Amino acid sequence: MNSFGRIFRVNVFGESHGESVGVNIDGTPAGIPLKQEDFLPDLERRKGGARGTTPRKEEDLPFLKSGVFNDRTTGAPITILFENNNTRSADYAKLREFPRPGHADFVAAKKFGGFEDYRGGGHFSGRLTLNLVAAGVIAKKILGEGIKINAVIKEVGGFADAEEGLEEAIKAKDSVGGIVECTVDGLPIGLGEPFFDSVESALAHAAFAIPAIKGIEFGAGFAAAKMKGLEHNDPIVDATGKTATNHAGGIVGGITNGNQLVFRVAVKPTSSTPKEQQTLNIASGQVETFSVKGRHDLCIALRVPVVLEAVTAMVLADFMLLEMRVPRVWQQ
Amino acid sequence: MNSFGRIFRVNVFGESHGESVGVNIDGTPAGIPLKQEDFLPDLERRKGGARGTTPRKEEDLPFLKSGVFNDRTTGAPITILFENNNTRSADYAKLREFPRPGHADFVAAKKFGGFEDYRGGGHFSGRLTLNLVAAGVIAKKILGEGIKINAVIKEVGGFADAEEGLEEAIKAKDSVGGIVECTVDGLPIGLGEPFFDSVESALAHAAFAIPAIKGIEFGAGFAAAKMKGLEHNDPIVDATGKTATNHAGGIVGGITNGNQLVFRVAVKPTSSTPKEQQTLNIASGQVETFSVKGRHDLCIALRVPVVLEAVTAMVLADFMLLEMRVPRVWQQ
Amino acid sequence: MNSFGRIFRVNVFGESHGESVGVNIDGTPAGIPLKQEDFLPDLERRKGGARGTTPRKEEDLPFLKSGVFNDRTTGAPITILFENNNTRSADYAKLREFPRPGHADFVAAKKFGGFEDYRGGGHFSGRLTLNLVAAGVIAKKILGEGIKINAVIKEVGGFADAEEGLEEAIKAKDSVGGIVECTVDGLPIGLGEPFFDSVESALAHAAFAIPAIKGIEFGAGFAAAKMKGLEHNDPIVDATGKTATNHAGGIVGGITNGNQLVFRVAVKPTSSTPKEQQTLNIASGQVETFSVKGRHDLCIALRVPVVLEAVTAMVLADFMLLEMRVPRVWQQ
Amino acid sequence: MNSFGRIFRVNVFGESHGESVGVNIDGTPAGIPLKQEDFLPDLERRKGGARGTTPRKEEDLPFLKSGVFNDRTTGAPITILFENNNTRSADYAKLREFPRPGHADFVAAKKFGGFEDYRGGGHFSGRLTLNLVAAGVIAKKILGEGIKINAVIKEVGGFADAEEGLEEAIKAKDSVGGIVECTVDGLPIGLGEPFFDSVESALAHAAFAIPAIKGIEFGAGFAAAKMKGLEHNDPIVDATGKTATNHAGGIVGGITNGNQLVFRVAVKPTSSTPKEQQTLNIASGQVETFSVKGRHDLCIALRVPVVLEAVTAMVLADFMLLEMRVPRVWQQ
């Protein structure tokens, strides 16, 4: 299934070098102001072009095909389409011989019997994160001004200073990974459920939908495994539920506790490294030398923050609609 | 929602000090041999009593209330009930005054308006992991002999030697956290989808349903964030998809690649530390000294492996039924 | 899947001659008064014993196994169990030879490979409508006093006077079908969606979950097919949406319009007729004479009204929770 | 939710006079031949223009925006877009004053707070059945050559001869209703479940997603309510499950029995009758005389058969994928 959410339901579609990528969103309340320009700031943040990101440039204009009338949401499903104009598929012809290490080429061919669109990763492409960002823009509107989501780069290639990490990578002519942290302020107490619908479950589910993410931790996270109980516990200090520390990252028993929500994700190095690799040539059946062609990010983590904010907003909007009973017609 | 799975659908219910806990499972193929004894080994592994775990002893006998006939599954929903016999609810009366740090007492009262069953954590209790273990036993049968799931303690309180970590905790009269690693051998290539139904998404979703888990990482995980692309990439070495290294932990593009599935979870220290804590007294509105009464695990991580295996089996059984089209009538 | 509902989620389980039948219900708001006695009036209405219904008597006592504390719902999943005490399975041994016409014996054996519990229809038994009635009792509480559901017998064996229809059947020593009408007063405007989540879609889905129902019509229903537009249209007469006529049965565009909801279902004659039948003997491979043994209803339609009310309440409670944003904690 | 299906998942979107209508379909196996021309015959059958149908003409060309590569499905979500070129929105300006009887104008305004796209019924328009027909074309391919779905007009305005019924309507200058029957040959035994996932539940759910349908009956349907058990029961005559009669319409216990599937739907007269109506003027608050402008079908039932076939194919494809474990890669 290429869909997510219970009330605020997001369906992504499209291929990197096909005609388009897009997203269909059901469950948005009616009456929310929405027009093409609203999407541009977050889409701009995601866009390639900065140092360490791919030189591929697309207009990335979101076309609103349904669900919006007179610049407001109608309550009907919203479909947003992005056209693919700037593709150079010839770059990818070689993938059929060399399934790229770290990419889905090999498993996709096995799973879909060779019928998959392999150009530029096809449906597996990071280009589909455009859809997530677009859905996130709407989700942020549902959350309203009072809830602030903020994701930032914490580390690139092991360096707290991202610039330093990039320098290293450029020098090494290799790609690098990174860590992104996301915080949310202003959440009410009570979102989530114990067990399967815990806020951690939902956020992790959504975060791992972002290509290249290989780990997630909430609050103290993996460091908590080395802590003692008294040290890790967050004492409650007043009747609003405020805690003295926030090792729980704002979630206890799967439920938001009114403190800042904090989590971090680990992003692997871009699989398409500029370096030569030794890997299987399917045609010859031999391990051979292979270099990835095409235009790629040196550090895909740099593009993750806005996407992580988007899926976080999607998850939280869904919880707000479900738990806080946000009305079907928007009021703000 | 207290349910999980698309084809193999698990619904958990019950309260720690209520009449029972139990699980309702839909989507099991017909014809699988199943009787009470089949559950006992994994339930025994989960049971308290060992050093570092709670002295509370329950019979923990699973009663098969539906879906089984002549010691085989019928294809109809299976309901399994565990009775609660050995409860000492009086221990918990004080929770209404002191919502325990690290526990759901405070958020549950806010969310459910004070109507929640607060005794022993009620529905939020780790006792409900009995249900997960029971569902896991059935899931493992669906996976069959060829797929081996194995979860082990990797660290307790920061020590690779669990005994050493426990000693430390006992000496400090405090609880400790830990790290559990789960591996799966024998998986076919092709389980999972890109984006929302990635194997990472599903496993993380299920793992965070286990109380006390605060982080998850696949393959190299957080270490990948510090690696370079050439180092992290797993070169494919033969036509079966075998890779020279396994930094991806057996999943690329959200899909199993036929190599060993590997992931680790971080378990926070048991919130019910034997130590005194400074926290809010709801009645007085003041921060006061509070000690948790009741019987608790010193290191809850010690009980996690069998539960983590269980949710892993649930996720994989669901993928096998959905993707590999395991027949509705079981054949093995 | 043996489940239904998006927010108010009902999972049924059990077998006619197994250990129990029961229901697991997720999504009930916290704080609703609920105790065993609340179920008895509707369970009594469903119970056999009256003329035209089966002489099998069960205590039919609902045991609340989870989700209720101090006689109020807690917001956690509610599980209700009914024990099977009064079974005479020997009656059913012959079914393996003669799959009963009109029953699921033949298809169940094919679908579940012979592993199904065939005693008394097993999981396919009308006894599982106990579960629906129990879920309906909770759903009616969610709907509150202001919404009144009422289902009545309109016809038995073609007679508007049910007694007359039964007389006929007794005289003919055969079973008969019937028609049941359900009305709902007090619904708000705006429940439902166009297309797949229309109120008609949801009610029909739930109604056909009741064994023996073979047709459903809303408002004028099949008669509408013979009407002209001007005759069928319901003119709106005031700003509350009240209509002069109600041929639409209270639903337009899939959405409740504030007028009385009206629909009817057709119930087939009980398949277990006392008469001899000519049908296949699986063992001999020949068509032979066969009589159904066991205790059965002469007119199953007589037991449908309370079950139809129950599934109607389930559907409407789900819509109210989803659309009208009924709070998670109950207030009335 | 504007979506339907468990494995074969269909999401519809769009507005009658907006930019487009379209459909997003997830869960299609990879490798199915699919190109624009494949949709044309069924789209042509649905198209207006014949006697009794609306003179509005659209190209109705389906644009495949994703999920197809080299004229075959890839296994990724398929999105199909229809552009709206031939709209005359000015016709509908008056709807804000006179909510049309039989239409969703009034309830939509209440539900969506006036933010709905009201032009031509907006999202509530029959134009969205284009999406259903398109999804049906793909579903029919999944079912393959061996399963034949056929829907035909049985009655128009009470006349078995549709032409006669239309004459009557034209003479009366009014719209008329009708009855459509759908049969399916070649289904395997064993699709469906008892209770909520009965084949009747799923087909009724989908059928009531078609605007204007107000009743559905399976096999003998409402006539069964007047029958006796011996008369209604279908004796099994051979080991393949063939029955002597087919009053059950091919479904027992919610499960297909290998005989022909038969059901009928009642279609109400087109709400947009050419006749003058007395109904509320929202602006004046008075009941006034009103005539519907715009182009409409005299008998909407005439356009239902291909749409009914489509939703039937959707339901059955979903069951085949789920129950019969149709492989993820298409083989035929």
CATH number at residue C131: 3.60.150.10
- Given this model, what pLDDT does residue D324 score? 76
- Given this model, what pLDDT does residue D97 score? 86
Indicate the pLDDT class of residue D93, thresholds 50, 70 and 90: low
Q: Distance (Å, rounded) from C-alpha B254 to C-alpha B248?
A: 10
- Given this model, what pLDDT does residue A48 score? 62
The DSSP H or E segment spanning C262 is strand C261-267
Mean pLDDT of A275-280: 91
* Yes or no, beta carbons of B239 and A172 under 8 Å apart: no
Token pair 């990835």 in the structure block, residue: A292
Indicate the pLDDT class of residue C89, thresholds 50, 70 and 90: low
Residue A109 contacts B where some CB pair is shorter than 8 Å: no
Reply yes or no on whether the pLDDT at B325 is more than 60.
yes
Find the Cα–Cα–Cα–Cα dihedral B268, B273, B275, B277, rounded to 10°: 80
Residue B286 lies in a domain: yes
Which of A211-225, B238-252, C109-123, D281-295 has the least mean pLDDT? D281-295
Reply yes or no on whether the pLDDT at B288 is more than 90.
yes
- Given this model, what pLDDT does residue A95 score? 62
- Contact present, C253 and D107 (Cβ < 8 Å): yes
Structural domain containing residue A77: 3-323
Averaged confidence pLDDT in chain B = 92
Reply yes or no on whether the pLDDT at B118 is more than 80.
yes
- Contact present, A266 and B222 (Cβ < 8 Å): yes
Mean pLDDT of A53-78: 88
Phi, psi (degrees; rounded to nearest 5) at B229? -60, -45
Indicate the pLDDT class of residue D42, thresholds 50, 70 and 90: very high
* Yes or no, beta carbons of C325 and A323 under 8 Å apart: no
Averaged confidence pLDDT in chain D = 92
- Given this model, what pLDDT does residue C326 score? 66
- Given this model, what pLDDT does residue B122 score? 93
Residue B303 lies in a domain: yes
What is the 8-class DSSP label of residue A321? H
Q: Distance (Å, rounded) from C-alpha C301 to C-alpha B103?
A: 51
Indicate the pLDDT class of residue C97, thresholds 50, 70 and 90: confident
Distances (CA, A) of B59 to A17, B86, C228: 59, 9, 69
- Given this model, what pLDDT does residue D92 score? 61
Report the percent of chain A where pLDDT is more than 90.
83
Residue B330 lies in a domain: no
User: Which residues in chain D have their CB less than 8 angstroms from residue A81's CB?
Assistant: 65, 81
User: Which residues in chain C have their CB less than 8 angstroms from residue B83's CB?
Assistant: none
Residues in chain D: 332
What is the 8-class DSSP label of residue C114? T
- Given this model, what pLDDT does residue D296 score? 79
Angle at D227 between CA D223 and CA D230, to 5 degrees: 135
Report the percent of chain C where pLDDT is more than 70.
92
- Given this model, what pLDDT does residue C296 score? 79
Reply yes or no on whether the pLDDT at D55 is more than 80.
no
- Given this model, what pLDDT does residue C11 score? 98
Indicate the pLDDT class of residue A1, thresholds 50, 70 and 90: confident
- Given this model, what pLDDT does residue C330 score? 73
The count of C-alpha atoms lying within 13 angstroms of the C-alpha of A55, restricted to the half-sphere facing its C-beta, is 4
Residue C332 lies in a domain: no
Residue C240 lies in a domain: yes
Reply yes or no on whether the pLDDT at D327 is more than 70.
no
* The total number of structural domains that make up chain A: 1
Query: Which residues of D line the annotated binding site?
Result: 46, 51, 123-125, 253, 268-272, 295
Indicate the pLDDT class of residue A125, thresholds 50, 70 and 90: very high
pLDDT in tens, A278-329: 899 988 999 999 888 766 789 999 999 999 999 999 999 999 998 876 666 7
Q: What residues 40-79 of chain D have any CB closer than 8 A to a CB of chain A?
A: 64-67, 69, 72-79
B282: distance to nearest CA of chain C, Å?
Answer: 21
Ligand-binding annotation for B51, yes or no, is yes
Residue A19 lies in a domain: yes
* Yes or no, beta carbons of C69 and B9 under 8 Å apart: no
Q: Distance (Å, rounded) from C-alpha D48 to C-alpha D57?
A: 7
User: Which residues in chain A have their CB less than 8 angstroms from residue B175's CB?
Assistant: 228-229
Q: Distance (Å, rounded) from C-alpha A195 to C-alpha A239?
A: 26
Ligand-binding annotation for A124, yes or no, is yes
Reply yes or no on whether the pLDDT at B196 is more than 70.
yes
Q: Is B23 helix (H, G, I), strand (E, B) or coil?
A: strand
Residue A309, both tokens = 């904010």
- Contact present, D249 and C214 (Cβ < 8 Å): yes
- Which residues fall within 8 angstroms of residue C60, CB to CB, at 6 or more apart? C43, C46, C47, C82, C130
Which of A110-114, C324-328, D277-281 has the least mean pLDDT? C324-328
Residue D162 lies in a domain: yes
Q: Distance (Å, rounded) from C-alpha D74 to C-alpha D87?
A: 34
Distances (CA, A) of C295 to C14, C156, C262, D90: 19, 20, 33, 66
- pTM for the whole thing? 0.96
Indicate the pLDDT class of residue B49, thresholds 50, 70 and 90: low
Residue C329 contacts D where some CB pair is shorter than 8 Å: no
Residue A115 is nearest to which of D15, D24, D31, comparing CB atoms? D31
> Going along B253-324, which residue ranges are E strands?
255-256, 261-267, 277-281, 286-290
Mean pLDDT of D91-101: 75
Mean pLDDT of B289-307: 89
Residue A135 lies in a domain: yes
- Which residues fall within 8 angstroms of residue A3, CB to CB, at 6 or more apart? A9, A10, A11, A12, B196, D3, D9, D11, D26
